[in-house]
Amino acid sequence: MVDMKTSLCGIELDNPVIPASGTFGYGYEFAEIYDINCLGTFSFKGTTKDARFGNATPRIAECPSGMLNSVGLQNPGVEAVISEELPRLAKVFNKPVMANISGFAVDEYVYVAEKLDKEKQVGWLEINISCPNVHGGGMSFGTDPECAAQVVKAVKAVTTKPVIIKLTPNVTDIVAMAKACEDADADAISLINTLMGMRINLKTGKPILANTTGGYSGPAVFPVALRMVYQVAEAVNIPVVGMGGVSSAEDVIEMMMAGATAVEVGAANLVNPTACKDIIEDLPRVMDKYGIKNLKEIIGAAHR
């Protein structure tokens, strides 16, 4: 009998598999397909202070071994999430959920974090710092260590829940970003968010996405994500949540060996709605194949 349990910031998970934000809505849509209580947890759709319609269409472009998206953080706003989405979720999910928070200024992050901190259903706050800083010239919070640390400190001041900082891979030094967040008292790091990319329509000669560029995700980014998870896990003393191109139980094992305590699955959910369920059900077979009895014991194995 294998042990698939792991612990993330003091909260035990039945298994390490977590659908990533933006690929699983607010959960109840997938609950119509299967019992989502089989998941370790899931990270719900990126939530902002105010409702957002998102970017103009087209927002999606297919690519070999992946996809581009430029959804633009479409969401109903934190007040509606608390009053409508979370009560609906409570009917189908009986575990702590991970709340993904986005913002365009520090005070927006603080506002949303403070609101969601009061919700019993929320176990962790995953702070997406890949957003453009409107007060900082449009540069992403996640590309400047000082800006990232500022967000961490501000959010930590208004919450009692574990704060997980989600990092963008679109930087020169991912380790410097992670260490800045750790030094600012982040409880964990999650990475990677999407890589910037674009596609051009050969008939029109114009970009396929209305926003010109978008975030590239899918199996092709897995080696890049794995390298960054390995580097960050080597450098920090807080848990790392790995993601980026994960689509199989083998990928989950590999991410954990690189240093991930838990593993998020993103684009695979958009290709196959039961991807996470399938991965969880296949984990015991893969663990047996490689002689793994306890997943906690393989975390960071590649560093030893």
What would the pLDDT profile of 141-195 be if each residue is shown by its tens digit? 999 999 999 999 999 999 999 999 999 999 999 999 999 999 999 999 999 999 9
Query: Percent of the chain at pLDDT above 90?
Result: 96
Amino acid at 157: A
Average pLDDT value for residue range 276-297: 98
- Give the pLDDT score at 13: 98
- Give the pLDDT score at 294: 98
Residues 82-141: pLDDT tens digits? 999 999 999 999 999 999 999 999 999 999 999 999 999 999 999 999 877 777 766 789
Residues 13-50: pLDDT tens digits? 999 999 999 999 999 999 999 999 999 999 999 999 99
- Give the pLDDT score at 133: 72
What lies within 8 Å, CB to CB, of 236 at 6+ separation is: 178, 179, 182, 189
Whether pTM exceeds 0.95: yes
Residues 221-272: pLDDT tens digits? 999 999 999 999 999 999 999 999 999 999 999 999 999 999 999 999 999 9
Domain chopping of the chain, boundaries: 6-297
Average pLDDT value for residue range 3-7: 98
Q: Which H/E stretch holds residue 223?
A: helix 222-235
- Give the pLDDT score at 285: 98
And the tokens for 1?
Answer: 């009998």
Hunting for tokens 């996809």 — which residue is that?
A: 67
Active-site residue set: 131
In CATH, what class is 6-297? alpha beta
- Give the pLDDT score at 208: 98
- Give the pLDDT score at 130: 87
Return the higher-pLDDT residue of 134 and 211: 211
Tell me the angle at which helices 249-258 and 222-235 cross, rounded to the nearest 10 degrees. Answer: 30
- Rounded Cα distance between 139 and 5, Å, is 38
Residues 104, 108, 110, 112, Cα dihedral to 10°: -110
Whether cis (ω within 30° of 0) applies to the bond prior to 192 is yes
In three-state secondary structure terms, 137 is: coil
